[in-house]
Structure 1
Amino acid sequence: MKIAVLSGKGGTGKTLVSVNLASVSKNGTYIDCDVEEPNGHLFFKPEEVKRNEISVKIPVVNQDKCNGCRKCVDFCKFNALAYINNKVKVFETVCHSCGGCNLLCPEMAIDEKDKVIGAIETGSSEGISIITGILNTGEETGVPIIKEILKMQDVYSPVTIIDCPPGSSCMVMESIKDADYCVLVAEPTLFGSHNLSMVYELVKLFEKPFGCVLNKCIDGENPSEEFCTVHGIPVIESIPFDINLGTINSNGDIITRQDQKYFELFSNLLSRIKEEVGL
């Protein structure tokens, strides 16, 4: 079972929920797809970490072979190629590495080179497999890393928790496309409800079963809870605003390994999700 954890913005508690769900899963897998700013490993502190670089293919033009037909320029919908001063110029930062220009060039004037855009680190923590995607600073997109990282999930793992990037970008879409269930994490504020609406529309578009976890809950008005009520979104857990939880979390410790109350809360949450999926 693959559970994707989303939030419309950073700081809602998405990683808190992801890490602790994985921690109580028993021999599960935690995948950090928040490749621009991965931080799940700071809590798990995995051992025996292995690192593999991830590369993409970038076109290289042999100007001596090029006859200036511009077929490659016309083909590229991302404007990664331009014909300037009688030469084809490649703009690497907007290239999507589709390989089309290489295939259609009639003069075979376009080759490809490897460009390292990041890495994937793997390790373990108390029986939990930890897989972390890391995008190099300045790179445009982490989608190629997310594609590779999701291929690596342990097929024998009973539960895989996918810690998605915040928001509703292409990287989030790539992270949830094979998920069996989506958890939407939201704060009890007007801003929180606005960002909840973003990921709500996304999971509806992908036709994924989902539920909401309300984090940092206090007495009084809760716009995110009201949004769930209006749109018929099941609230599968409410996590209180708790100074003790915040202290443990800010110290880089896993709350379910420190506090029995939260071990039971996240164990019950995982059981609820399994029931929703039909397991």
Structure 2
Amino acid sequence: MVIAVLSGKGGTGKTLVSVNLASAADESAYVDCDVEEPNGHLFFKPEGVQETAVSVLIPELNDQRCDGCRACVDFCRFHALAFINNKPLVFDEVCHSCGGCILVCPKKALTEKEKIIGKVQKGKSDQVTTYTGILHIGEASGVPIIQRLLSKERVDENKLTIVDGPPGSACMAMESIKDADYCVLVAEPTLFGVHNLDMVYQLVKLFQKPFGVILNKCLEDENPAETFCIENHIRILGRIPFDTNLGSLHSNAKIAVREKAFYWEMFSALLDTIREEVPHETARYS
């Protein structure tokens, strides 16, 4: 079973939910797809970390073949090519590695070379296997790293896998939920939280993924995020109260379920609820 945890912005409690759900299971994998700012490893402190570089293909010009036709420059919608001194100049930092410029070049003056954009790390923390993606600063997209993290040879279909997705609803968030069996949306009890909840709500509907919401930082006051869920007939999986002890543990990079039985019971109950929600025809874990 692959469960993707999402939020419309950072700071809602996505990583709090992800690391504690993974730790509440008998055996699991935790995949940190927030590759621009991964922080799950700070909590798990994995041992025996193995590291692998991730590269993409970018164009390389052969001056001898180029006749200056500009076909490649005109094609590129990302403006990764410019025509300077009668030849194309490649800007690696904004190239999206689509390969289109190579296809349209009539003289075959462009070939591909590898460029390292980041890395993935694998480690072990008690019963949790951790996977972390790290995108180098300034790179155009972390999608290739997420693809590597979630590749078939890395994700064990017989093991519970918790995907800690990137915040928001852009390309990297889309990539992180493509193969998810179920999506968990984490929301704050504010009007701003509702706006960001709606972003990922629209995303999971677009991908036709089964989903539910966990309301975090709940107070006794009116909760706009809860009202949004009720009005849109969205399943509320659970409510995490505004808890200074929980906040203190999290801010000190402690996994709550490993520290206190009360939190283990709370997140174990949440995990059981999520498992019950996953459609049987898509579940790969029992």
Into which bin does the TM-score normalised by the smaller protein fall? Answer: over 0.9
Seq. identity, %: 61
CA contact (8 A) 1:57 1:115 kept: yes
Aligned residue for 2:129?
A: 129
Q: Does 1:42 align with 2:42?
A: yes
Per-residue deviation at 1:262?
A: 1.3
CA contact (8 A) 1:211 1:234 kept: yes
Aligned residue for 2:112?
A: 112
Per-residue deviation at 1:156?
A: 4.6
Q: Does 1:173 align with 2:174?
A: yes
Find the aligned partners of 1:262 and 1:5 in 2 and give their Cα distance.
18
Find the aligned partners of 1:197 and 1:56 in 2 and give their Cα distance.
33
Name the TM-score, length of structure 2 as normaliser: 0.94
CA contact (8 A) 1:28 1:157 kept: no
Aligned residue for 1:261?
A: 262
Aligned residue for 1:78?
A: 78
Find the aligned partners of 2:279 and 2:109 in 1 and give their Cα distance.
54
Find the aligned partners of 1:78 and 1:149 in 2 and give their Cα distance.
25
Find the aligned partners of 2:251 and 2:74 in 1 and give their Cα distance.
51
Q: In structure 2, the residue corresponding to 1:229 is in which secondary structure?
A: helix
1:1-279 counterparts in 2 under 5 A? 1-151=1-151, 152-279=153-280
Find the aligned partners of 1:223 and 1:99 in 2 and give their Cα distance.
45
Letter in 2 for 1:95: C
Deviations 1:216-244 (Å, cap 9, x if unpaired)? 11111111001101111111010001111
Find the aligned partners of 2:217 and 2:100 in 1 and give their Cα distance.
48
Per-residue deviation at 1:157?
A: 4.0
Distance 1:153 1:269, change over 3 A: farther
Structure 2 residue ranges without an equivalent (≥5): 281-286
Q: In structure 1, the residue corresponding to 2:159 is in which secondary structure?
A: coil
Of 262-271 and 92-101, deviating more is 92-101
Q: In structure 2, the residue corresponding to 1:198 is in which secondary structure?
A: helix
Find the aligned partners of 1:105 and 1:39 in 2 and give their Cα distance.
42
Find the aligned partners of 2:74 and 2:140 in 1 and give their Cα distance.
22
Q: In structure 2, the residue corresponding to 1:146 is in which secondary structure?
A: helix
Of 73-82 and 53-62, deviating more is 73-82
Find the aligned partners of 2:191 and 2:20 in 1 and give their Cα distance.
26
Letter in 1 for 2:226: E
Per-residue deviation at 1:73?
A: 2.3
Aligned length: 279
Structure 1 residue ranges without an equivalent (≥5): none
Deviations 1:155-179 (Å, cap 9, x if unpaired)? 2542100000111111000101111
Q: In structure 1, the residue corresponding to 2:49 is in which secondary structure?
A: strand
Name the TM-score, length of structure 1 as normaliser: 0.96
Find the aligned partners of 1:246 and 1:254 in 2 and give their Cα distance.
11
Report the aligned-residue RMSD: 1.3
Deviations 1:74-127 (Å, cap 9, x if unpaired)? 332323223233111112222111223224423221122221111100001112
Find the aligned partners of 1:141 and 1:99 in 2 and give their Cα distance.
15
Letter in 1 for 2:101: C
CA contact (8 A) 1:35 1:165 kept: yes
CA contact (8 A) 2:95 2:140 kept: no
Find the aligned partners of 2:190 and 2:72 in 1 and give their Cα distance.
49
CA contact (8 A) 2:94 2:139 kept: no
Q: In structure 1, the residue corresponding to 2:141 is in which secondary structure?
A: coil
